[in-house]
Amino acid sequence: MLRVDNLSVKILKNIRLSLDAGEHLCILGANGSGKTTLSRAICGLIPSDAVWVDAQPVPSLSPRERSETFHFVPAKLDLYDEYLSVRDYLGLNAPAQEAAINAVLETLGISHLRESRCAKLSSGESTLLMVAGAMLRRARYTLFDEPTANLDAKNSIKLYRLLTSSPLFEHRIVITHDLNLAYALGAKILYLEDGEERFFGECEAFFAPENLQRCFGGFVTRAGEHFMVNYNEAR
Amino acid sequence: MKHVSLFLSLALLCLAPLFGEISLDYRLIFESGSSDHTLFWDIRLPRVLTAFFTGSVLALAGLVFQSVFRNPLTTPFTLGVASGATLGTAVAIVFLGGIAIYQYLLGFAGAIVSVAILFILSRSLKSTQTHTLLLAGIAMSFFYSAALMVLFYLSDFTQSYSIVRFTMGSLGVFGMEYVIPVMAVSLLFVALVRSYRHDLKLLLTSFEFAYLGGIDPGRTAMALLLISSAAVAVCVSVTGPIGFVGLIIPHIIQMIYRRSADTLIMPTFFYGGVFLVFCDLIARNLGTASDIPIGVITSFIGGPFFIYIILKRKRTHG
């Protein structure tokens, strides 16, 4: 189980949350509200003793335990060496598992990119590549930072299906701005505002109209199972 | 292309000891007691071997520094590590009577102190600020140059001359006893770097990916930098600082092979050695009264290339 106990790093103030075994999380909030900071703190990239996994503080995990526990899929693929190929990248997630690598590429429909250089991929293709890496890694907690931001509708649905059905993601923590995705995922919701926790609880409670009004003002309207951003509100 | 260059390189390595200012009588090489025998076994061959193994260490250390600092312009030279070694050696020449073992030890200490300073600096910088580190390296080089000037001021004529000759770099060793340490260090170095191949590949991705990929990036970087600096320090204390090999060889190799740096350890090692043997061959055969210092040749070739790299970077990175 994952527990964040009174975490205050950078702009985050007194964040508390806990996820039991098998529970997932969706982190929502405005730009700059601390979503990425929180997810980086959870997986130890910003070391903090306020984050615990199974009664052990995250900074005390060994590098190997850490890699088995957490995997972070950033919003943007960042690689220094421009000659790293897709195969090289996936090989780092699953050393010497050619068959597994090919299977994952097949699942995501990017087999044709196997020998390409990562630096040449489009942003959508990079996202798929990072998801492929996460599937190979099979960490206990996989964190996705805005995974659908660069994907077309078809690939967004493919990713949604993978997130919800794949046994490879034991616990998933998804940062997103896409309320429809958050609703469909049905996981616990954490809503951040200026580094503070504004809501933490079940999905249905978050998407209740009065709570939406409280968090988003008039900018978001619920229409049945769908959520719409009211661009007209700005007029 | 790769096979041709491999063949040409091997031919160059085999033929290099046979050419020089004094032409050899090839039949007398294996006849002990003849001057040709001495020339070949005590002067030419040690020199070519020193050139090869020094070049290979400098090139591979350049590859490691560029990968660890994630910046194509970092080498032990641009970061002041080699200047530190030079200063240490100069201290030994002036204050400790130029005894070889003290030169090695102080050269080594100078390099390690420099890398320690760099590492402390890099810890307080974000990974994206490596250009700041380059500036720090340049500042350190200036500091070392100033200290070297002080040493010149304090030294007598002979000591000044040996420092000057040393800073120009020289592969003029006599006998095999200088070759053995350089060769041993060089082979140990490449073996160690190869054992870090997987970790090196992780460092070539991003800090986050490496950190969650099962290594401690800071510790791995430190280990690789220490190994490289130690190897460079040993070579520099024998041959003097020879610039630009570490900068240009990894870039040329990556342009030819078009693969990630972790897979280029052996080619970089090999062609670094070949490049220095080639430069030394030019230095020895220009027909001047004495050899042109090797550092001059590598810098004449390396300087323009350095500028080319900077221009090319500007074009691709906006």
Tell me whether residues B212 and A81 touch, CB distance under 8 A.
no
- CA B300, CA A193: separation in Å to the nearest integer? 59
Residues 6+ apart with CB under 8 A from A184: A160, A164
Under 8 Å between Cβ of A52 and A2 = yes
- Strands (E) located in B122-255: none
Question: How many helices, marked H, and strands, marked E, lie in chain B?
Answer: 14, 0
Helix B245-257 / helix B45-69 crossing angle, nearest 10 deg: 70
Residue from B38, B5, B4, B7 nearest B20 by CA: B38
pLDDT digit of tens for each residue in chain A (235 aa)? 999 999 999 999 999 999 999 999 999 999 999 999 999 999 999 999 999 999 899 999 999 999 999 999 999 999 999 999 999 999 999 888 899 999 999 999 999 999 999 999 999 999 999 999 999 999 999 999 999 999 999 999 999 999 998 888 999 999 999 999 999 999 999 999 999 999 999 999 999 989 999 999 888 888 888 998 888 765 5
- CA B202, CA B199: separation in Å to the nearest integer? 5
| H or E segment to which residue B153 belongs | helix B130-154
Q: Which residues pair with A223 in a beta bridge?
A: A226
* B210-267 tens-digit pLDDT: 999 999 988 898 899 889 988 998 888 888 888 889 988 998 888 888 899 999 999 9
* B140-155 tens-digit pLDDT: 888 999 999 999 999 9
Q: Is A175 helix (H, G, I), strand (E, B) or coil?
A: strand
Torsion-angle region of A224 (φ positive above 0: left; ψ -120 to 50: alpha; else: beta): left
- Report the pLDDT value the prediction gives residue A162, as an integer from 0 to 100: 92
CA atoms within 13 Å, Cβ hemisphere of B75 = 26
Cβ-Cβ contacts under 8 Å, A88 against chain B: 201, 260
Q: Which residues pair with A172 in a beta bridge?
A: A142
- CA A183, CA B189: separation in Å to the nearest integer? 55
- Report the pLDDT value the prediction gives residue B128, as an integer from 0 to 100: 52
Residue B310 has pLDDT above 90, yes or no: no
Q: Would you call A78 an interface residue with chain B, using a CB distance cutoff of 8 Å? A: yes
Question: pTM of the full predicted structure?
Answer: 0.89
Under 8 Å between Cβ of A54 and A140 = no
- Report the pLDDT value the prediction gives residue B318, as an integer from 0 to 100: 36
Which domains, from first to last, does chain B contain?
Answer: 40-317 (1.10.3470.10)
* B287-299 tens-digit pLDDT: 666 677 888 888 8
CATH number of A2-234: 3.40.50.300
- Report the pLDDT value the prediction gives residue B129, as an integer from 0 to 100: 61
Chain A residue nearest residue B209, CA to CA: A72
**Residue A73 distance to chain B (closest CA, Å):** 9
In the sheet that holds A70-73, the strands lie side by side as A70-73, A141-145, A171-175, A25-29, A188-193, A196-201
Q: What are the CB-based long-range contacts (under 8 Å, 24+) for A179-187?
A: A179/A28, A179/A207, A179/A220, A179/A227, A180/A226, A180/A227, A181/A148, A181/A156, A182/A26, A182/A28, A183/A207, A183/A225, A183/A227, A184/A160, A185/A24, A185/A26, A185/A160, A187/A23, A187/A24, A187/A25, A187/A26
- CA distances (Å), origin A129, targets A96, A98, A132, B19: 18, 15, 5, 54
Q: Which residues pair with A3 in a beta bridge?
A: A18, A52
- Best of B201, B202, B205, B253 to disrupt the A interface (most A CBs within 10 Å) is B205
Question: Backbone phi, then psi, for A204, in 5-degree steps?
Answer: -60, -40
Question: Backbone phi, then psi, for B9, in 5-degree steps?
Answer: -65, -45
User: What share of chain B has pLDDT > 90, as a percent?
Assistant: 31
Domain chopping of chain A, boundaries: 2-234
Residue B308 has pLDDT above 90, yes or no: no
- CA A72, CA A62: separation in Å to the nearest integer? 17
- CA A126, CA A132: separation in Å to the nearest integer? 10
Chain B residue nearest residue A79, CA to CA: B205
The identity of residue A114, as a single letter, is: R
Q: Which residues pair with A193 in a beta bridge?
A: A196
CB pairs under 8 A between A and B: 67
* B107-128 tens-digit pLDDT: 888 988 887 888 788 777 665 5
Of the partner residues B207, B212, B254, the one whose CB lies closest to the CB of residue A83: B254
Tell me whether residues B213 and A67 touch, CB distance under 8 A.
yes
Least confident of A87-101, B157-171, B264-278: B157-171
Of the partner residues B207, B213, B254, the one whose CB lies closest to the CB of residue A92: B213
ipTM for the assembly: 0.90
Tell me whether residues A72 and B214 touch, CB distance under 8 A.
no
B292: DSSP letter: P
| H or E segment to which residue A73 belongs | strand A70-73
Under 8 Å between Cβ of A227 and A220 = yes
- CA distances (Å), origin B25, targets B17, B19, B40, B175: 12, 11, 10, 20
Residues 6+ apart with CB under 8 A from A117: A82, A83, A84, A85, A86
Residue B31 has pLDDT above 80, yes or no: no
B244: DSSP letter: S
Residue from A144, A148, A223 nearest A181 by CA: A148
Q: Is A158 helix (H, G, I), strand (E, B) or coil?
A: helix
- Strands (E) located in A105-146: 141-145
- Report the pLDDT value the prediction gives residue B5, as an integer from 0 to 100: 85
- Burial class of A95 by CB neighbour count within 10 A (0 to 12, 13 to 18, 19+): exposed
Q: Would you call A44 an interface residue with chain B, using a CB distance cutoff of 8 Å? A: yes
Helix B245-257 / helix B294-316 crossing angle, nearest 10 deg: 50
Q: Would you call B261 an interface residue with chain A, using a CB distance cutoff of 8 Å? A: yes
Q: Is A20 helix (H, G, I), strand (E, B) or coil?
A: coil
Residue from A72, A27, A81, A65 nearest A195 by CA: A27
